[in-house]
Amino acid sequence: MSKFVGQSVKRKEDLRLLTGTGKFVADLRMENMLEAAFLRSTYGHARIKGIETDAAKSLEGVYAVITSNDIEGEIKPLKQFDSHCILPPNLIEEIDPVINYNFEDVLAKRKVTYAGQPVAVVVAKNRYIAEDALALLKVEYEPLEALVNPFEAEKGDAPIIQEHMESNIQSHFLVQVGDVDKAIEEADYVLKKRLRTPRLSSNPMETRGVLANYDAVTGKFRVWSSTQLPYEVRSTIASLLEIPEESIHVTAPEVGGGFGPKGGVHPEEILIPYLSRMLGRPVRWIEDRIEHLAAARQSRDQIHDVEVSYKKDGTITGIKDDFIVDSGAVNYFALTCAYNTAYHLRGMYKIPSYQSKCRVILTNKTPNVPFRGAGRPEATFVMDRVIDMIARNLAMDPVDVMKKNMIQAEEMPYDQGILVKDGAQLIYDSGNYPDALDKVLEATNYKGFRKKQQQLKEAGKYVGIGISSFIEGTGSGPFESALVKIDLTGHVTAHLGSSPQGQGHETVFSQICADDLGVTPDQVTVVVGDTGVLPIGAGTYASRSAVNAGSAIHEASQKLQRKVLEIAGMLLDNEVEMLNIENGTIYAHDNPEMKLTFVDIANAARPSKSSKLPEGMEPGLQVLHYFVPPTVTFASSIHVAQVEVDKETGFVDIQDYSVVHDCGTVINPMIVEGQVQGGIAQGIGSALYEEVVHDKNGQVLTGSYMDYLIPTSMEVPTVKMVHQEYPSTRNPMGIKGVGEGGAISPPAAIANAVVDALTPLSIEITKVPVSPGYLRELIKEAERV
Amino acid sequence: MNKRIVALTINGVDVQRKVASRMLLTDFIRDELKLTGTNVGCEHGVCGACTILLNGESVRSCLMLAVQADGYEIETVESLQNDNGTLNTLQQSFKDCHGLQCGFCTPGFLMTVTSFLKENEDPTEEEIREAISGNLCRCTGYANIVKSVQRTVQSQRTSKSLTEPVCHTDHKQNETVQIS
Amino acid sequence: MKPAVFNYIRPESVEETLQLLSDYGDDAKILSGGQSLIPVLNMRLSTPKYLIDIGRLEGLNYIREEGDHLSVGALVKHKDIESSPLVKELCPILGEAIRWVGTTQIRNRGTIGGSIAHGDPSAELPCVLAALRGEIVVASLEGEDVLSPEEFFLTYMLTSMQPDQVIKEIRFPIMSKKSAFSFVEVARTHGDFALAEAAVILETDETETVIKAQIAVGGVNPTPTVLEEVEDHIMGKKLTDELLTEVRRMTEGNVDPESDLHGTAEYRRELVGVLVQRALKTAGERVKKGAGRHE
């Protein structure tokens, strides 16, 4: 019975965060701690002829200056993540993938391949002195041709970025269903477009940071990192330094936002522990914002060439997509974003013939990794711009084109005829998309807007409305772990492998556990972000924690509840089915006077000769459960943006933003709404403001917040939300993920709204951000026609 | 000239330290005074995570040297709690309205709003949005922060109106109020 | 992002400051509010040997009515201008423009002298100063110079100030009670640097004919720019839609912006034309209502 699941329980995390007592990595300070700073490449592509370190080394307060020569043979290179590179055999058969091995040295060796790449590291008494030393380092570079355009980079005669490879095409695949060429041949119309999504920087307000302390006596490392994946950090340090995982204890303390790029292991997370061992002192590195904007991994950056066949009535019969991912200098995540794009592109629509051909190309830019949405915002931008273009070509309302192609409620579960990356068939498990569309159109008063729009346009106000929808495979595996235990005081503690960055894990998972064990969330302590207890765990990314950690804690709690009841049954001499747990006490329906507490049960279960346990039951009150999802589960959402365009200046003002979404069973509505609103803010950033720009030499031009623009409170409206709750069929509680969703649709919804606002002037937005300069160019182009 | 004594009052406590002249006020507060509630987000004056109060006004502590703050009164997030350790009205409103997620930008917002509400007791939504526009948040999308501020205003108004009748019963006091 | 080592000096008087500047010359930098300088120090784009903190000098923190102008001491903070009744009364366009400067936190620390000395062509105060034909009082041991904005601002982030000079005062001419004004600006996001801005002060006679016009733009040339040609063109005319369109074209011809990440030269040129047109229109409407100054 759910008493707490479904309630907006206030967050346990807030007290410490509101009083300034929560500890982020930068707040941790150890005795004798030294601070590190990195010298980073100022070139996109260059050979390192030599590094002069003497002056820096002799500076007072400097303890070490390390270049790749100094660590030769001591630290293995950071290679592509195995867990993402190994594909199931049936998927390999179906998409014929090639993934060429690629890697990055933790400090650049012989050459640099992107601006921001670590070239040397200084350890000093404090950050000020470390930066003084950086200024004394002299690197002699021989510039090489920088490849910033992936179309140039993939050419046969282009310089090779990863020199062991034969070309810069790091990976590719082809996925298809139906007969797209035939569909194009037989179509009434064919639309051909090139659409782009920008390179983005994730910009959690807390930058990255690592603190490590090596204990020479025990031979153990203690590491604190601002990461989404403490277990992955542990295993990567272990493998690169060739030490057992057991000797490394990683904690993700308070983590100030992650959004994807903190989910992965960066060179600094290896070097800092190494330096601590080398110097015999704690060493800390805190990334500054300028480093973050250049060196922290970036995302999106796709270019799609689509051909779409459609009928006079708006039915889309086929999509042929040939796209590239500009991966930067290393592709750590193999096909993760690229295949996400490919399998999500058709979204809520039934499009029988589909072909998606992808090349992941290395360029001289910062490595491209998953960022909130991970390939889905790109797919959605393509699909929904296409829907909008088709509607305009046919003089139809975009809503009618959506309806024409939308999967109907009675068609669920719906099989899209291809595979998910984990090898499962791509089947949407639950949802009702037409109902979602009706609901959101009502919320935004679509009909009313259309009526009013004509008058406003006549009065010279360029107002428009744009729609975008998506489905999202959430809760990807491989697994998540939970250990739930009751101690001798009767208190419940749950350890989870998942590790939060603001999502409120301590609160939501205590709600689940509390319901299962018949206690209150206050009586459950949820411990996350620490490799100290559980043998293995995964982490928080890919909208997966509620699904996987939620299911893991649910299953573990259920098993523990069963054990508690069985012990109680024995002690009360009653059938388990007759027992109840309420507020931490156990009693039988037919004899409510006879009560037991968790303390009684814990004592009975205590391992000893006098344990009072049913025959054959193991002592102890703890249950470890690994939840392994069968495959992803499909959340869905539709966004509607209303905008006003200042036609003369090209500025876009968002006047209303409405959303309907389905994330299955909602654990905590307050937190779900917070995730959606926050995701949309990032999506608005991508739609109108944000883009990492490199010059032709691979230099980052958006190196500070003066040039990389994050939306403020003046640019992000309060979103109207409507909820649907179609439980997932792929986990016991019916949960679907919600963390990323908000960020997926805004670029398409806003671009469509801008186009609509300027109609009858026919502009064609093919990329975001829709900056005022870009929009003015489009307007002028359209006016010339 | 490389080092200098800085004496100031922080959260009501007088402190004095000899520090490097180049030390940023943020680092002084965090590393010297060990008050790590004030966070560092960009160090170039855009994100507002390091906002503190300097003689009651919100300023960015990353854009000040510690030596510049010599003689000033500083308040940080650590000063906000009630004397009995409970959250103050503003902090409680952030909790009630889910005005924070990762919490990294939160101290900066709290300080900005603390100073803002002293100057504007009954702000409109637009004024609230304008007031917090110098603080970036990457998690919440701002909506719940705006709501938290509105909730604070509401609570303060309620508690004020609760005390008003006491004022009105005292005729003399009432007159004094009118005169002043 | 931490500043390099410097010697910090906090002089007690203007005289001492000038002596220090005379002694250290190029090796020294003046620190007042620090809102533009400290980011530059943090990024180590500037590594002065001596940092002379004038932030608490007495005698440079005043807003006074003096004859035909408002004298504002170099150390007056933006927020003080924002809240000054004297500014509101005598030079209201300044109060309007100042709200566009950065954010509250920046305005609480940033000084007017610092803003002018920074020489950023997209900054608001230089634009207003240019439109009003204000003056900048600069001092050195040699004495004081009173400079026009044209003499003071040389190009992007460069002024005519010598290493031994410091700004003492900014003089904003008092606006006629009969004039109306408008300051318009656009920035990509709130509080960000201006893409372009326009300041307009306008006076018309009873027949709605322009009898005085002061117009300046920022963010589109290496320095804040007075649009004299436009001013002359509209004198003696009524602000018809047709005239405003001419103004827009003429403005475009009077600026030579550079392309950057946030807009091409062409975009900025057109944008500033639109802004001048809009600012004039607003000022025209305000002067008609007779309520311009107090809005």
Domain total in chain B:
2
For residue B66, the SS3 value is helix
* Nearest-Cα residue of chain C relative to residue B56: C108
- Say yes or no: B85 and B24 in one domain: no
β-pairing, C210-218 vs A248-251, is: unpaired
Between vectors from CA A99 to CA A94 and to CA A104, what angle results, nearest 5°? 155
Domains with residue ranges and CATH for chain A: 32-144 (3.90.1170.50), 298-476+630-784 (3.30.365.10), 480-627 (3.30.365.10)
* Cβ atoms within 10 Å, residue C89: 16
B59 and B103 housed in the same domain: no
Q: What is the pLDDT of residue B172?
A: 36
Beta carbons of A567 and A526 less than 8 angstroms apart: no
**Domains identified in chain C, total number:** 3
What residue numbers bound the domain in which B99 lies? 80-167
pLDDT classification of B1: cutoffs 50, 70, 90: low
Give the tens place of pLDDT for each residue, A609-661. 888 999 999 999 999 999 999 999 999 999 999 999 999 999 999 999 999 99
Chain B residues lying within 8 Å of A205, measured CB to CB: 39, 41, 47, 49, 102, 104-105, 136-139
Q: Is residue C217 situated within a structural domain?
A: yes
Domain that holds residue C43: 7-53
Structure tokens at A370: 């998953």
Shortest CA distance from B109: residue in chain C: C105
pLDDT at A553: 96
Structural domain ending residue among the three candidates B50, B79, B108: B79
Across chain A, what does the average pLDDT equal?
A: 96
Domain boundary (B58, B79, B100) is at B79
C3·B134 Cβ contact <8 A: no
Candidate from B35, B38, B142 with C-beta closest to A716: B142
Predicted local distance difference test score (pLDDT) of residue B173? 35
Last residue of a domain, one of C112, C145, C173: C173
The CA distance from B68 to the nearest CA of chain C, in Å, is 8
Do C231 and C199 fall within a single domain? yes
Assess C45–A contact: CB distance below 8 Å, yes or no.
no
* Partner residues linked to A203 by β-bridges: none
Dihedral angle computed from the Cα positions of residues A444, A445, A446 and A451, in that order, rounded to the nearest 10 degrees = -140
The verdict on B14 and B31 lying in the same domain is: yes
Confidence of residue A1 (pLDDT cuts 50, 70, 90): low
* pLDDT score at A591: 87
Chain B nearest-CA distance from C83, in A, is: 12
Does B92 lie in the same domain as B43? no
Does residue B5 sit within a domain? yes
Quote the CA–CA distance of A18 and A37 in Å, as a whole number. Answer: 30
Cα C226 from Cα C214, distance rounded (Å): 8
Nearest to A702 among C191, C193, C261 (CB): C261
Asked if residue B179 is part of any domain, the answer here is no
CA A58/CA A38 separation, integer angstroms: 17
Residue A664: strand pairing partners: A735
At residue A136, the 3 state secondary structure works out as helix
C-alpha distance from C270 to closest chain A C-alpha (Å): 8
pLDDT digits (tens, 9 = 90+) for A697-742: 999 999 999 999 999 999 999 999 999 999 999 999 999 999 999 9
3-state secondary structure (DSSP) of residue A387: helix
Q: Taking a C-beta distance cutoff of 8 angstroms, is the pair A45, A698 a contact? A: yes
C285 in a structural domain = yes
- Are C75 and C154 contained in the same domain? yes
The answer to whether the CB atoms of B95 and A15 lie below 8 A apart is yes
- Residues of chain C with pLDDT below 70 are 291-295
Q: With beta carbons less than 8 A apart as the criterion, state whether C135 and C171 touch.
A: yes
Chain B, nearest residue to A708 by Cα: B46
Which residues on A lie below 8 Å from B140 (Cβ)? 674, 677-678, 681
The answer to whether A465 and A642 are in contact (CB under 8 A) is yes
Beta strands in A557-674 (DSSP E): 579-582, 585-588, 591-597, 622-627, 633-646, 651-662
A732-778 pLDDT, tens per residue?
A: 999 999 999 999 999 999 999 999 999 999 999 999 999 999 999 99
B126 in a structural domain: yes
Residues of chain C contacting residue B48, judged by C-beta atoms under 8 Å apart: 103, 105
Judgement on whether residues B65 and B104 belong to the same structural domain of the protein: no
Look at B81 and A21 and tell me if their CB atoms are within 8 Å: no
Contact flag B38-A679 (C-beta cutoff 8 Å): no
**Chain C within 8 Å of B133 (Cβ-Cβ)?**
yes
**CATH number of the domain bearing residue C113:** 3.30.465.10
Residue that finishes a domain, picked among C17, C33, C53: C53
CATH number of the domain within which C255 lies: 3.30.390.50
Phi and psi based region of residue C21 (left: phi greater than 0; alpha: psi -120 to 50; beta: remaining): alpha
Is B67 part of the contact surface with chain C (CB cutoff 8 Å)? yes
- Token output for A615: 């025959």
Give, as one character, the DSSP assignment of residue A50. Answer: E
- Cβ–Cβ below 8 Å for A772 and C192: no
Where among C140, C158, C173 does a domain terminate? C173
As given in the structure block, the two tokens for residue B13 are 């406590």
Q: Are residues C36 and C76 in the same domain?
A: no
CB contact under 8 A, B60 and C42: no
The pLDDT assigned to A336 comes to 96
Q: Which amino acid is at A446?
A: Y
| pLDDT at residue B2 in the model | 85
- Residue A507: both structure tokens together: 């609160």
Is C262 part of any domain?
yes
Specify the pLDDT at position B168: 38
Angle, nearest 10°, between helix axes B89-96 and B143-169? 140
DSSP β-ladder status, B57-60 and B13-20? unpaired
Q: HSE-up of A60 (CA within 13 Å, CB side)?
A: 0
How far apart are the C-alpha atoms of A225 and A262, rounded to whole Å? 10
Q: Quickly state the pLDDT bin for B166 (edges 50, 70, 90).
A: very low
CB spacing of B24 vs C2 below 8 angstroms: yes
What is the pairing mode between strands A111-112 and A283-286?
unpaired
Q: Is C10 on the interface with B (CB under 8 A)?
A: yes
Residue C14 located in a structural domain: yes
Averaged pLDDT, B64-72: 98
B60 and B105 assigned to the same domain: no
Q: Does C267 reach chain A within 8 Å, measured CB to CB?
A: yes
- Are residues B57 and B95 located together in one domain of the fold? no
Cβ proximity of A527 and A472 under 8 Å: no
Q: Which of A13, A19, A504 sits opposite B81 (nearest CB)?
A: A19
Give the residue among A559, A589, A584 at the shortest CA–CA distance from A572.
A589
Helices (H), B1-142: 25-27, 89-96, 106-119, 125-131
Q: What is the pLDDT of residues A434-466, one digit of tens each?
A: 999 999 999 999 999 999 999 999 999 999 999
Do B73 and B142 lie in one domain? The reply is: no
CB contact under 8 A, C190 and A289: no
Residue A410 CA to residue A720 CA, distance in Å, equals 28
Residues A504-522 have a mean pLDDT of: 96
Query: Does residue C29 lie in a domain region?
Result: yes
| pLDDT of A198 | 96
Residue B172 lies in a domain: no
Question: Which of B20, B49, B79 is at the close of a domain?
Answer: B79
Q: Does residue B136 sit in the same domain as residue B73?
A: no
Within a domain: B43: yes
Q: Please check whether residues B55 and B87 belong to one and the same domain.
A: no
Whole-angstrom Cα distance, residue A754 to residue A743? 18
Give yes or no: residues B69 and B103 share one domain: no
Cβ-based neighbour number of residue A332 at 10 Å: 24
pLDDT at residue B142 tops 60? yes
Judge: A205–B77 Cβ closer than 8 Å, yes or no.
no
Contacts 24+ apart (CB under 8 A), B129-133: B129/A713, B129/A714, B130/A713, B130/A714, B130/C190, B131/C104, B132/A713, B133/A712, B133/A713, B133/A714, B133/C103, B133/C190, B133/C191
Q: Is residue B35 part of a domain?
A: yes
Same domain, C184 and C278: yes
The CATH number assigned to the domain holding C48 equals 3.30.43.10
ipTM score assigned to the predicted complex: 0.97
Residue B96 sits in the same domain as residue B70? no
At C152-162, the pLDDT tens digits run: 999 999 999 99
The owner of tokens 């388990």 is: A576
Domain with residue B156: its CATH number is 1.10.150.120
